[in-house]
């Protein structure tokens, strides 16, 4: 009887030891991630699952325990490092924004390293975040542009902003009388907020943005493949909405997005963020994509006339005219005011047609190749590698097409794909090289043809020529004389 009961008990316990788990359907994928990226966190696994399967809902604790079990069962160790912080009380709503820069090297789709720089803004009370990335060093102009975008996202400005002592912003701490760079000081004067600096060796004073940078690196950046900076920023915005601001914060135990709904009511509104100026004036856009101001014509981007019948402008204190769209606040152009009359003041970028999309340009150019699919693949690779200069790259390819035959362009494309020469300048060099080779070969063929013709003429001449024949009597005479 005891043996029977023991057996029955074992039978009923067996399903508990082998029961399926919710995440088992993604077990192979999670194992692949953990083996490929041993430093992957459980939080990052959860975010990747949300990104890949938006309809799949699973709790954070479930993912954490599942990942822990997988690491134990398959002996996948995780490297970790700790840094101590001292707790700092949260400031009131709308009181402070913390801003700082981050740097991280990632790999692109070809396995090559790409160094990314990013700036992070965090509302100190709600922990609501905004971030922008660049694959080149920031300039002060870039920093100011990122500030404007962050303020738009936050729907206002806090009383103060806390920074590290970065050279793009600060010249000197100056014993408390902070000296800012000239360009950034003008921006502060325009928006009117207080600048505070983090003291050296005191990371706790801006620990909220430090934690945000660490979170961004570990949860979003780590092990993500870089394609181009535009798609990277787009992915980042989706991540902020999904996880960065949508996940419950460990410190506040609330979602930053939820707390932000209250905090944004305490932010100070700034009209200039939307480029609405007290003295802004409406102007009609002319057919040549310019507006008139004090008898001069100031350019706006090509295609503006088709999109907007009217734009607004205002004049800044440093003698510039800013042309913008009133509804969206989009700045179309900024020009220094010319004191002369009857002049055309035009930005070089306004000469290019930006109304046609890059995708359409690639489609048009690829049509000129015999192998359209191969050409499209090549041009898309140029777009991934040169996102900021893709129009210039495509323009150079188009110029090459005008200078060579279809056969020459097709041969250049094949050679570039074979040698992995993904640059319009390389494509141009290959076209030039092939063109020179054809010219040399043509000269050699002509010389060879001349030699062949000459030999044929000589042979023909010799064949048609008959030797003079002496009479037989002459030979008899010679033979008789030798006797």
Q: Which residues contact 135 (CB under 8 A, 6 or more apart)?
A: 114, 115, 116, 117, 226, 229
Strand ranges for 198-338 from DSSP E:
281-284, 290-293, 296-299, 310-315, 320-324, 331-336
- Look at residue 344 in the predicted model and tell me its pLDDT: 93
- Look at residue 301 in the predicted model and tell me its pLDDT: 86
Q: How far apart are CA 347 and CA 336, in angstroms?
A: 11
- Look at residue 413 in the predicted model and tell me its pLDDT: 92
Contact 221, 29 (CB under 8 A): no
Question: pLDDT under 50 in the chain at which residues?
Answer: 1-17, 85, 201, 278, 355, 446-447, 450, 452-454, 456-465
Q: How far apart are CA 112 and CA 109, in angstroms?
A: 8
Classify 328 as helix, strand or coil: coil
- Look at residue 273 in the predicted model and tell me its pLDDT: 63
Q: Which two tokens stand for residue 22?
A: 């919710």
Contact 412, 404 (CB under 8 A): yes
Q: What is the mean pLDDT of the chain?
A: 81
Which residue's entry shows tokens 């009133």? 326
Which residue's entry shows tokens 């005008």? 402
Is the full-model pTM beyond 0.75?
Answer: no
Contact 216, 244 (CB under 8 A): yes
- Look at residue 5 in the predicted model and tell me its pLDDT: 43
């Amino acid at each position: 009887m005891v043996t029977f009961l023991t057996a029955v008990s074992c039978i009923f316990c067996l399903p508990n030891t082998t029961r399926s788990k919710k995440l088992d359907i993604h077990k192979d994928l999670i194992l692949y991630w953990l083996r490929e990226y041993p430093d992957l966190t459980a939080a990052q696994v959860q975010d990747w699952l949300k990104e890949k399967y938006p309809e799949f809902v699973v709790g954070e604790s479930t993912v954490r325990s599942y990942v822990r079990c997988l690491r134990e069962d398959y002996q996948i160790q995780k490297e970790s490092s700790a840094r101590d912080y001292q707790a700092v009380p949260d400031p009131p709503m709308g009181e402070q924004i913390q801003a700082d820069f981050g740097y991280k090297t990632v790999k692109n789709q070809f396995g090559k390293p790409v160094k990314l720089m990013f700036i992070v803004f965090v509302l100190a009370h709600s922990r609501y975040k905004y971030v922008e990335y660049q694959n080149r060093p920031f300039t002060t102009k870039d920093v100011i542009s990122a500030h404007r975008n962050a303020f738009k996202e936050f729907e206002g400005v806090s009383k103060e902003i806390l920074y590290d002592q970065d050279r793009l912003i600060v010249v000197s701490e100056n014993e408390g009388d902070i000296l800012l760079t000239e360009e950034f000081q003008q921006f502060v004067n325009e928006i009117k907020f207080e600048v505070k600096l983090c003291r050296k060796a005191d990371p706790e004073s801006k620990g909220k943005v430090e934690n945000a940078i660490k979170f961004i690196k570990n949860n979003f950046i780590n092990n993500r493949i870089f394609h181009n900076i535009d798609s990277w920023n787009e992915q980042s915005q989706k991540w902020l909405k999904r996880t960065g601001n949508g996940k419950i914060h460990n410190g506040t135990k609330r979602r930053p997005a939820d707390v932000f709904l209250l905090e944004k009511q305490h932010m100070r509104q700034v009209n200039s963020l939307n480029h609405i100026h007290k003295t802004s004036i409406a102007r009609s856009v002319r057919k040549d994509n310019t507006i008139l101001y004090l008898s001069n014509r100031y350019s706006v981007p090509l295609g503006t006339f088709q999109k907007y019948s009217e734009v607004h402008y205002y004049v800044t204190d440093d003698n510039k005219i800013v042309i913008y769209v009133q509804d969206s606040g989009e700045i179309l152009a900024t020009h220094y005011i010319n004191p002369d009359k009857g002049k055309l003041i035009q930005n070089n970028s306004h000469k290019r047609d930006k109304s046609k999309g890059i995708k359409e340009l690639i489609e048009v150019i690829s049509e000129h190749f015999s192998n359209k699919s191969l050409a499209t693949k090549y041009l898309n690779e140029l777009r991934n590698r040169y996102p900021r200069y893709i129009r210039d790259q495509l323009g150079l390819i188009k110029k090459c097409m005008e200078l060579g035959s279809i056969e020459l362009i097709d041969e250049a494309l094949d050679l570039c794909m074979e040698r992995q020469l993904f640059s319009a300048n390389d494509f141009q060099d290959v076209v030039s090289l092939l063109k020179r080779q054809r010219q040399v070969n043509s000269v050699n063929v002509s010389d060879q043809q001349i030699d062949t013709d000459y030999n044929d003429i000589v042979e023909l001449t010799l064949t048609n020529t008959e030797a003079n024949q002496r009479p037989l009597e002459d030979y008899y005479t010679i033979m008789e004389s030798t006797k």
